[in-house]
Homo-oligomer: A and B are copies of this chain.
Amino acid sequence: MSRFDETKALFALPEGVVYMDGNSLGPLPRAVPGRLAAMVQDEWGEMLITAWNRAGWMAAPRRVGDRVGALIGAEPGSVVLGDTLSIKVYQALASALEMRPGRKVILSDTGNFPSDLYMAEGLVKSLGAGHELRLVAPEAVADAIDEDVAVLMLTEVDYRTGRRHDMPALTARAHEAGALAIWDLAHSAGALAVDVAGGGADFAVGCSYKFLNGGPGAPAFIYVAPRHAEVARPALSGWLGHEAPFAFDIGYRPGEGVERMRVGTPPMIQLAALEAALDAYDVVDMAAVAARAGVLADRFIAGVEAACPDMTLVTPRDASARGSQVSFAHPEGYAAMQAVIAHGLIGDFRAPDIMRFGITPLYLDEADIDRAVEILADVMGRKLWAEPRYQVRQTVT
């Protein structure tokens, strides 16, 4: 049994479905229901309020932070869990802007996930006084980093195309210009061999419900480079980021290091699910996951290109230039994806015309990829997307 057969056995996947949307919502790890039942009954139910100490709840955001941190090349003690990714983006941006007084520009790209841009837009409006969110095309980022830029904020992997930024190079370029770099690892953590410490990132953020399989609405994480951790002022200064939360002082004093990026009471039930999900990474390391993702993606690209000539690859062919997804453009992408899902292959659609497929080696193998190609060949070959039932738009996909 290979290591990836072992990890595949850890997930409860529905019969007859190939799931290539783990980059939106990771599937249910088999360990989760039991872990949740135990946590809810034995900790919440029996220990009640005392579980914050006795069951280690209060320390969970840091404990789980270290487990996520190990997957992204973070120093121990530099990652903490909590809130949503949008909130963590805001925290990183607000702190970073203050660390570059006199500069007013947040630089990002038009391929960034919209919520990151919205949070930056919201912050810039609140701050006023000349602050600006400047957007350029992804390929124009390097040249747009100038001495006006306070913060470069990028998502490493484009959620539509799968194009991967060169994190170390762009971070170095930002630092040369005197700017800080914030990296959103939503589509990286648990998928790619990321090295935030080696790559020099100042801040990194990400979610845990995609490749990390923490469940719907699982908490986000934030990394603060240790060199900044005692300097960064948390704009969202909540009591659990206080140096002494249970002193109930009137005034705020930031906690030690990344602890100050905690805000309110952590979502313990979600954290318990995530903690169980992370056990999969005790079986395989990130280098092996990333390498195997490359092999599976190459196989999927070759299969689809051979079978579906009207699907146009938009993801880079070079594995080092892409994340762990493969996207194709198709003029009837929305309806086509509905038809594909109805035939047992779950991917997702991103406007305007992108059919997106997540490559998740923890539970996808060659047989799944081949089956996915078969389904695509059948559905696209028969142009099933033309059927009216697949053309009906739903609110969310």
Contacts and interface: CB of A to CB of B under 8 A. Distances in A.
Tally of this chain's copies:
2
A316 interface: no
Kindly list the 5 A-B residue pairs having the minimum CB-CB distance in the complex, ordered from nearest.
A84-B264, A115-B239, A122-B237, A217-B267, A86-B238
Given A84-B238, A122-B235, A250-B114, A12 B45 contact: yes
Contacts of A25: 44, 48-49, 52
A375 interface: no
A49 B36 contact: no
Interface residue SS majority, chain A: mixed
Contacts of A141: none
A300 interface: no
Interface in A206-229: 207, 209, 215-220
Interface in A276-312: none
Given A36-B36, A125-B233, A242-B114, A50 B263 contact: no
Nearest to A45: B28
B351 A247 contact: yes
A240 B114 CA distance: 10
Query: Which has the most chain B C-beta neighbours within 10 Å: A36, A217, A250?
Result: A217
Given A41-B33, A83-B84, A252-B122, A346 B48 contact: yes
B28 A40 contact: yes
